[in-house]
Structure 1
């Protein structure tokens, strides 16, 4: 019989760390345990047994874990910290709607002097997004056929949009267009409403025109007291037409007690601003001595001023014999002075 060959005996694989299971490692472990035992004896003598036992248990657990390969010694060399990622460059804050609209409007203003068609295009972009000034400028351009074809309906629409946002000038323009029937059929009641909105904001021309509507009963019931009130407000802001209307009311004495001195004062203020009707009225007052001593030379001077502006009554007055003589005398005096 053949003898069976002896098979090499397999040694069990060492799954742990060979460096930790070798003899040197065991010696080190026993040394540590011996030191711990010595520490235990010393702790018993000094009365610090509880503190030592807590520390001892932690050390034993560390050694057992280290021997089984479950724990690695802590390296004394600190690991390099990862470099912080550079922060992305901050992008500029997005523009607000108001800033964008302001830029669109500015582009329109820049183009207006040399390219009205482009200006209208820029104004249109801003107007459609609610820019009030752009809406007013675009409306004016449609009304005057500047850069666009004349379109009174569109002009009225853009003025109306700006007026609805509270723009007093636009409100006044809508009132005028309603009064004149531009862009829509004439509507005096609507005109009075728009004038009233602008007048409440202190728009002098709207205040004056609203006064006229109350004085004439156009679109509103006739109300002389309301007319007087609105004329005064507009006149206080220097509106020449309102000043003339106040002069007429004081000269007539229908709404307020007749006061020719007050009438003369308001006529002078309006005439000084070039109001032809007030200049003609001053000529009448000087010619007839209303509220002031007669002075045909002063009358001739004011009639001439009004006549140069085409005021009909003044044109007729300068043909009167008395006024002609006064003008001739004034002309002779001017010639002698030269």
Structure 2
């Protein structure tokens, strides 16, 4: 029965290369939440604290001091401020120059960012091979976003040989470090049972984790499982609630999925689902656990 339902399930893979959050999000949060799996140096931490206090001049000074002291991540964060225009006018060209310097000095975060820019062809010539090399080098150094992005290029065969088994290994590593997109990708693999053993309960657990944190792809995929009843009896009320939340967060297919589920529900159940959506609040992670998502 589960196999039959699985064939009906269209799992939406919203696993994109991390570009350090769309600019529509608060630029301050974008930069201050870019904590890697590695521990940042003292001056970098001072810079992040200054950013949270909206002391942009103080943040830039702290990152510059970190760079002057030999901390390559100081150059990375200075680059992010320039790329996003935090505290001044955006200067993508100067940002790329800082990413190159920081990468050469061993900053995994800078490697990842520069790799993403090469793949996207933004600010640098598009070069899939160089982009894949950089994001996977960042992954090898323990960068969470690099691990996710390396998994993505390996899964899609962008700039490197396609290796989906290795891709899901990287997704597992990034997911273990708290990357929500990687958890969603891992859940997709567990649902499909193609590269890892099928494990619907484990997939459900991962999607509940990402959904509870307000991840739109996690909410959508969780709602699909609930609507199809893959982890037990179908729960259209919860599915409607989660499709509703995913829709308001901008998921491109959630509104249509919500309407499809609603067609099989009573007016009372729809009202209850809407009430639950109204009352829902995301689970907030401690500041030091926040990681960059795309």
TM-score range, shorter chain: 0.5 to 0.7
Supply the RMSD in Å over aligned alpha carbons. 3.4
Q: Hey, what's the Cα distance between the residues in 2 that align with 1:314 and 1:110?
A: 38
Please list the CA deviations of residues 118-156 of structure 1 after superposition, one character each: whole Å capped at 9, or x if unmatched.
976896687578553442233123212345543322211
Is it true that 1:294 corresponds to 2:237 in the alignment? no
The 3 A distance-change label for structure 1 pair 240 and 116 is closer
User: Which residue pairs with 1:267 in the alignment?
Assistant: 207
The 3 A distance-change label for structure 1 pair 294 and 176 is same
User: Which residue pairs with 1:190 in the alignment?
Assistant: 130
TM (norm. structure 1) is 0.59
Is it true that 1:322 corresponds to 2:264 in the alignment? yes
Q: Give how far 1:258 is off.
A: 2.7
SS at match of 2:264: helix
Give the total of aligned pairs: 232
More moved, 148-157 vs 234-243? 148-157
> Which one of 115, 127, 152 corresponds to residue 175 of structure 1?
115
SS at match of 1:312: coil
> Which one of 294, 311, 335 corresponds to residue 251 of structure 2?
311
Question: Would you say the 8 A contact 2:136–2:149 is kept in 1?
Answer: no
Q: Which runs of 5+ in 1 are unaligned?
A: 1-101
Q: Hey, what's the Cα distance between the residues in 1 that align with 2:80 and 2:184?
A: 29
TM (norm. structure 2) is 0.67
Q: Hey, what's the Cα distance between the residues in 1 that align with 2:52 and 2:199?
A: 50
SS at match of 1:248: helix
The 3 A distance-change label for structure 1 pair 229 and 331 is closer
Q: Which runs of 5+ in 2 are unaligned?
A: 1-41, 278-294
Q: Give how far 1:274 is off.
A: 1.8
1:100-115 pair list within 5 angstroms: none
Larger-gyration structure (1/2): 1
Is it true that 1:150 corresponds to 2:86 in the alignment? no
The 3 A distance-change label for structure 1 pair 137 and 292 is same
